[in-house]
């Protein structure tokens, strides 16, 4: 068993018999400092959720609440992206977002206020004889057989690359 930080699940399947897999993210709270000519400098906060499997970044409204879980290591998906790549992706995402809101001749100075490696929970369960997987943060359900396919090759869902 290993202790990990998990994004607090919002949605749960309506069944007691469920399993889960934990999907890796790095969460950043960044503060952007923009210098502006003839105007007061601008300071903005940015929350980046960097997918450590596919190297994508999403903007959040806040730092999501985290919980500590003791889990079997086999429940964890292995991150494919290291900290430096994740931080670079978060900075790029923050700059793109900030530059669309602030006019400045300079790139912003960026400060990391908080950062955490955490996992998103994907519930695995069965309903009416069909295996399903549910995203614990948005409640979307995916058919496991549609994701994996009969030959193990087709993929339509959150774990597809």
Q: Name the residue with tokens 């999501």.
A: 64
**pLDDT (tens digit per residue) in 125-135:** 999 889 999 99
Cα 19 to the chain's mean position, in Å? Answer: 20
Domain map of the chain by residue range? 2-148
> How confident is the model at residue 94, as a pLDDT?
98
**pLDDT (tens digit per residue) in 81-94:** 999 999 999 999 99
How many CB atoms neighbour CB 81 within 10 A?
19
Please give the structure tokens belonging to residue 88: 């670079």
């Amino acid at each position: 068993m290993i202790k990990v930080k998990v994004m607090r699940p919002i949605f749960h399947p309506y069944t007691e018999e469920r399993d889960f897999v934990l999907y890796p993210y790095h969460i950043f709270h960044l503060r952007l400092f923009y210098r502006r000519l003839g105007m007061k400098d601008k300071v903005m906060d940015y929350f980046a959720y960097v997918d450590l499997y596919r190297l994508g970044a999403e903007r959040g409204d806040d730092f999501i609440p985290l919980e500590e879980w003791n889990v079997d290591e086999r429940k964890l998906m292995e991150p494919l992206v290291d900290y430096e790549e994740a931080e670079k992706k978060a900075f790029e995402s923050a700059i793109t977002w900030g530059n669309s809101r602030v006019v400045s001749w300079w790139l912003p100075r960026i400060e990391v206020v908080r950062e955490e490696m955490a996992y998103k929970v994907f519930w695995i369960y069965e309903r009416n004889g069909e295996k399903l997987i549910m995203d614990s943060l948005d409640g979307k359900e995916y058919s496991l057989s549609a994701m994996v396919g009969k030959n193990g090759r087709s993929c339509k869902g959150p774990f597809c690359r």
